[in-house]
Amino acid sequence: MKVKNKRQRFREIVSVLLKYGFKEGINSPEQMRKALEELGPTFIKIGQILSTRPDILPDKFTREFEKLQDEVSPVSIEIIEKIIIDELGGPLSHHFQFFSEKPIASASMAQVHKATLKSGASVVVKIRRPNIESIMLNDLALLSKVTRFIKFIPQGSILNPQEMFAELYHAVKEELDFINEAENIKTFSALNKDVRFLKIPKLYPEYVTKELLVMEYIDGFKISDKYNLLNAGYDLNDIANKLVHNFLKQVFNDGIFHGDPHPGNIYISKNKIAYLDLGLVGKLSPQLKTKFNQLLFAVVTGDIEAITHTILRMGVKKGPVNRMVLQSDIEDIYNYYVSASMYDIDIPELVDRLFAVCRAHKISVPKEITLILKSFLLMEGNLATLAPEITIMDIATPYVREEILKSKDVKGEFLKSAESIYRFTKATMKIPEKMLSVLSKFSSGTIQVHMDHTNLDNNVNKITKAADRIVIGLILAALVIGSSEVISSHTGPTFYDISILGLVGYILAALLALFLVISIMRSGRL
């Protein structure tokens, strides 16, 4: 795949985004999808990644991005052989008895060929497209520059461009490295080795590199191929029950689950459910798994305050959050569904409403939780195809209740509650006895009231000083007024025709005023 000149590619990106109205920010999901399709593989992958994040994008965008088709023209067999030589050493004939020149799948990041190893084992060979890593990372870097003057982030998103590109960069880097997918296959195989009805493709580690992945070929029917499944004698209700039970086990027991369980990634082969394409896997840390279980427990018990508290602990606040308004919004959703049977709840509608509340309050939910809910919706779609008379809540509700009981230390919590009740009862029984003692002392006139004061002396001193200053002020005012009367009436002996008594009064008033000012200044309250 040819790598375009950066300047040419930059102009191309800007031109297409402007063409579809991105200059002032886009509010049309369809226009944005068309722009992504026209810009090619990198942008299609961006749309597919964003379609799994209804917590940060409005529902109308995520649903539109689900329509993005990741199909491109295949790379020639000559280029494929060159990649295999570079990765494994030696020509195709050195490693394979047979290698199909025509790929069975061709996507933006990789294409898949059917082959047969020298041992006779039927395998699929997943090969990364040439130069795709540099192309996609260059596109992301150019897009981050474009967003300085073009609003690429859809209206209603709660992430800023820097956060969005950081998430996209991490997701693309992880998906481009096939060693990650190989590790996912190993982990899934280990966690499900005792599940008899499940099949995980065998991995061939000697043929695994960053750009190449070889695993067992699984022959069978897609889980959506209802007609052929029935003709082959399969019990669709049994498949549906096993499929959902295993998914719930992945989430609640293993903490590692398939992140993209659409019909193309689940086959029925030789009476077993086979998971394909483990490139996208959700992983719950022990802490996040605990919080998720706490949220479910709060939902089951109807504890709105606990639901609010857990969402705030689990999510990332992107701005100030009014806890009371958030709790009120959550309570509205809960009250809407509480009258309905758990089995009748419309899961997509409930999920959409919860994410809408989180977006409205600028709360970003961890991508692992959104991936669980997204996978849950895909599983519901699989169930609707296989066994429409069974809802996912028919299976999930008893399972979740059982897991909640397992996660709770029922005996420990009962003993703790019993101890609290005992202490409360013991203290309560002493109240009548103490009340009788108090009443007896009242009636006999022998009750005494003991009072302690804190820092009262200090407050009294402050009041005394204030009163002294008021008295001095009153005396000063009297001297000024009296001296003025004496001088104006020319009473008593005079000095230069000024009454000596009045002059002495003015001098005393001046001295008192000076004393009062000095006193106030020393107290630091001037």
Single-letter code of the amino acid located at 86? D
pLDDT tens digits for 122-145? 999 999 999 888 888 888 888 777
Extract the tokens encoding 413: 């919590």
Least confident of 130-134, 168-172, 272-276, 386-390: 168-172
Burial class (CB in 10 A: 0-12, 13-18, 19+), 284: buried
CA–CA distance from 331 to each of 59, 321, 348 (Å)? Answer: 21, 16, 18
Say what the pLDDT of residue 230 is: 93
With 0-12 / 13-18 / 19 or more C-beta atoms within 10 angstroms meaning exposed / middle / buried, residue 120 is exposed
d(CA 400, CA 294): 12
For 262, the token pair is 């659409």
Nearest to 277 by CA among 70, 126, 62, 122: 126
Residue 109 has pLDDT above 80, yes or no: yes
Domain borders along the chain are: 6-71+137-174, 76-129+178-217, 222-403, 457-523
Q: What is the mean pLDDT of residues 67-89?
A: 85
Report which of residues 492 and 67 the model is more confident about. 67
Contact 130, 83 (CB under 8 A): yes
User: Which CATH fold would you assign to the domain 76-129+178-217?
Assistant: Phosphorylase Kinase; domain 1 (3.30.200)
Higher pLDDT, 252 or 448: 252
User: In the block, which residue shows the tokens 């609010």?
Assistant: 308
Contacts of 201 (CB under 8 A, 6+ apart): 124, 185, 215, 216, 217, 218, 274, 275, 276
Q: Indicate the length of the chain as a whole number.
A: 526
- Model confidence at 422: pLDDT above 70: no
- Contacts for 379 with CB less than 8 Å, ≥ 6 apart: 243, 244, 247, 261, 392
Mean pLDDT calculated for residue range 438-466: 60
d(CA 244, CA 259) in angstroms, rounded, equals 14
Q: Distance (Å, rounded) from C-alpha 188 to C-alpha 377?
A: 21
Number of neighbours of residue 521 by Cβ within 10 angstroms: 10
Q: How confident is the model at residue 229 (pLDDT cuts 50, 70, 90)?
A: very high
- Separation CA 520–CA 526 (nearest Å): 6
Here the tokens at position 57 are 């994008």
Asked if the model's pLDDT at residue 505 lies above 50, the reply is yes
Q: 48 with 177: CB under 8 angstroms? A: no
pLDDT of residue 496: 64
Q: Which helix (H) or strand (E) covers residue 160, if one does? A: none
CA distance 88 to 106: 21
As given in the structure block, the two tokens for residue 138 are: 């260059």
Q: Which helix (H) or strand (E) holds 498?
A: strand 498-499
Would you state the pLDDT for residue 113? 95
Residue 448 exposure: Cα atoms within 13 Å on the Cβ side: 2
Place of tokens 């491109």: 72
Ramachandran category for residue 129: left, alpha or beta (phi over 0 → left; psi -120 to 50 → alpha): beta
pLDDT confidence bin for 242, thresholds 50/70/90: very high
The answer, yes or no, to whether residue 334 has pLDDT greater than 70, is yes
Contacts made by residues 518-525, CB under 8 angstroms, sequence distance 24+: 519/469, 520/469, 523/465
Q: Distance between CA atoms of 472 and 518, rounded to whole angstroms? A: 13
Average of per-residue pLDDT across 37-60: 78
Q: Is 399 helix (H, G, I), strand (E, B) or coil?
A: helix
Q: Determine the Cα–Cα distance for residues 152 and 146; give it in Å rounded to an integer.
A: 8
Q: Is residue 67 predicted with pLDDT exceeding 70? A: yes
CA–CA distance, 307 with 297 (Å, rounded to integer) = 9
Q: What pLDDT does 424 receive? A: 46
pLDDT, the chain, mean = 79
Please, are residues 373 and 351 in contact by the beta-carbon 8 Å criterion? yes
pLDDT for the residue numbered 195: 93
8 A C-beta contact, residue 224 and residue 263: yes
Band (442; pLDDT cuts 50, 70, 90): low
> What pTM value is reported for the model?
0.66
Residue 227's identity, in one-letter code, is: Y
Most confident range (mean pLDDT) of 9-18, 487-496, 502-511 is: 9-18
CB neighbour list of residue 93: distance below 8 Å, 6 or more residues apart: none
